[in-house]
Amino acid sequence: MADDALVLGLDVGGTTIKGEITDAAGRVLAVGTVATPQGEAAFEAMGALGDQLLSELTAELRSRVGRAAVVLPGIVDTVRSIAVFSSNVGWRDVKVGDRFSDRWGIPVLIEHDVAVAGWAEWRVGAGRGYDNVCVVILGTGISGTLSVGGRLLRSSYGQVGEYGHIPVRADGLPCLCGNTGCVETIASGASIARAYTRRSGREISGAAEVFALVDTDPDATAVLADAVDALADGLIGIVHAACPELVILGGGLAGAGAALTEPLHRAIADRLRLVPAPQVVLGEFGARAGLAGAALFARQGALE
């Protein structure tokens, strides 16, 4: 793609679809957000958002848009271009195929939102320059990426990085996946908020509020300690298997900052003897990691 080419990136979440057209320097030339309709209608909303962003450009700029990337949640089959399953958006085996490339007149790549988010944090975010990096995207769900020896792991057998569904509590809570005691049932944003309300009897707006209370409210401290323990228990097998030098906490929940990174580093180090402990740092893109990843993926054309 030419150096002065523009790219369109769409990050489809359970609540909103975010889109941006950016240049090689990351400057945003058009930006928009729409609510995510459930089911098949979400694909029409993606198409319309792309149309709108492209229509906001001058004809000269429009002609320079060289490629788009649409990044999707859930299980994504990039080879067959199918949204296999998303509990949040209600998809099951929806063919994405060429519907956007025909509509926008440019090549359109499809990827998993977390794969591009973790890849972007590794390549151009908090993991720049490291070869062995585990990125954990914390949000509504928990999943991530793993890069070892300078290579991003992708398995042809299924979707990698499903850290949120590692079962860590034999007597745990039921998970949406059908299992019990998954990391997500303790450490996701929704789970942290629920656990705090269950413990304290107080309704709160979300996990961010629990993080804000952590120094002053014993209930918040206890809930966060549980979340950190669950994350450490979930990641400890991966640390032994792959020996990452860096764990990056990305996604919306990573706004908790040192309240999350320092205890998680300690909890992982406490569980290790033989293997060196990874650093634990925050991602640089926060909740924008998916969009940053979509733009980078559209520009480079491959996750490398």
Residues 181 and 168 sit within 8 Å (Cβ to Cβ): yes
Beta bridge partners of 21: 8, 30
**Which residue in the set 102, 240, 257, 262 belongs to the binding site for a copy of itself (CB under 8 A)?**
240
Question: Does position 274 bind a copy of itself by CB under 8 A?
Answer: yes
Question: Closer to a copy of itself at the Cβ: 23 or 77?
Answer: 77
Least Cβ distance, residue 40 to a copy of itself (angstroms) = 23
Burial 36-48 (b: 16+ CB within 10 A, else e): beeeeebbebbbe
Residues between 104 and 143 with contacts to a copy of itself, criterion CB under 8 A: 131-132
Q: State the DSSP H helix or E strand holding residue 8, giving kind and residue range, or none if neither.
A: strand 6-12
154 lines the binding site for a copy of itself (CB under 8 A): yes
- Does position 241 interact with a copy of itself (CB under 8 A)? The reply is yes
**Contact call for residue 174 and a copy of itself (CB under 8 A):** no
What's the Cα-to-Cα distance from 271 to each of 194, 199, 244, 267, 274, rounded to whole Å?
A: 27, 27, 15, 7, 10
276 interacts with a copy of itself by CB under 8 A: yes
Please provide the DSSP assignment of 78-96 as one string: TTTTEEEEETTTTEEEEE-
Q: Give the residue carrying structure tokens 């998993």.
A: 112
The verdict on 212 binding a copy of itself (CB under 8 A) reads no
Find the shortest distance in angstroms from Cβ 104 to a copy of itself.
Answer: 30
**Strand order across the beta sheet in which 65-72 lies:** 28-35, 16-22, 6-12, 65-72, 108-112
Residue of the chain from 4, 55, 129, 158 that contacts a copy of itself (CB under 8 A): 158
For a copy of itself, the binding residues (CB under 8 A) are 75, 131-132, 146, 148-149, 151, 153-163, 165-167, 175, 177-179, 234-238, 240-245, 271-276, 278
